[in-house]
Amino acid sequence: MMGKIILSIIGFSAGTAVSAGVFAFIGAIGIIPRMAQRSKTEKYIRAYEDLILLGGLFGTTALFVDYRFPPIPLLLAGYALAMGTFVGVLAMALAEVLNVTPILLRRSRITTGLPWLILCFALGKLVGSLLYFFVDGFYVV
């Protein structure tokens, strides 16, 4: 019994350290204000921050808690919005730091059609997410 308590404390501490690092990473590169500025939604920065925090919390606790949401569309939509915002901002932060888009364009010699390329990335992510969540037994390895 005491061993399980110690392991729980160690696991909680490690998870806290990792999540603090992820949120510090997102905050340090300033992706939220830049994203809001580019999308002209500066007045919703607080909502972005809240959704990112809720998405991170829901995602982390979903590993340990089997959520059973009542079939209320608004509640499910809020959960999906929070999770999607967290994942999207984290992906954009990584892409921003790594300068993925300019390197990809330079190496592939793409000179036109950048909006279409970004749209294809987004649609690919959408289709992959839908397959993962709605097709039973579909796992990406």
pLDDT band per the 50, 70, 90 thresholds, residue 123 = confident
Instruction: State whether residue 104 is helix, strand or coil.
Output: helix
Percentage above 70 pLDDT, the chain: 87
Residue range 75-89, pLDDT digits in tens: 778 877 777 777 777
Residue range 31-51, pLDDT digits in tens: 778 777 877 888 888 888 887
Is 141's pLDDT higher than 60? no
Percentage above 90 pLDDT, the chain: 0
Identify the residue with better confidence: 50 or 60: 50
pLDDT band per the 50, 70, 90 thresholds, residue 63 = confident
Q: In Å, how far are 17, 126, 129 from 134, measured between CA atoms?
A: 32, 12, 8
Q: pLDDT value at position 96?
A: 66
Is 139's pLDDT higher than 70? no
What is the number of other CB atoms lying within 10 angstroms of the CB of residue 89?
Answer: 20
Residue range 7-36, pLDDT digits in tens: 888 877 877 777 777 777 777 777 778 777
- Kindly write down the DSSP assignment for every residue of 13-63, as one continuous string: HHHHHHHHHHHHHHHHTTHHHHHHHHTT-GGGHHHHHHHHHHHHHHHHHTT
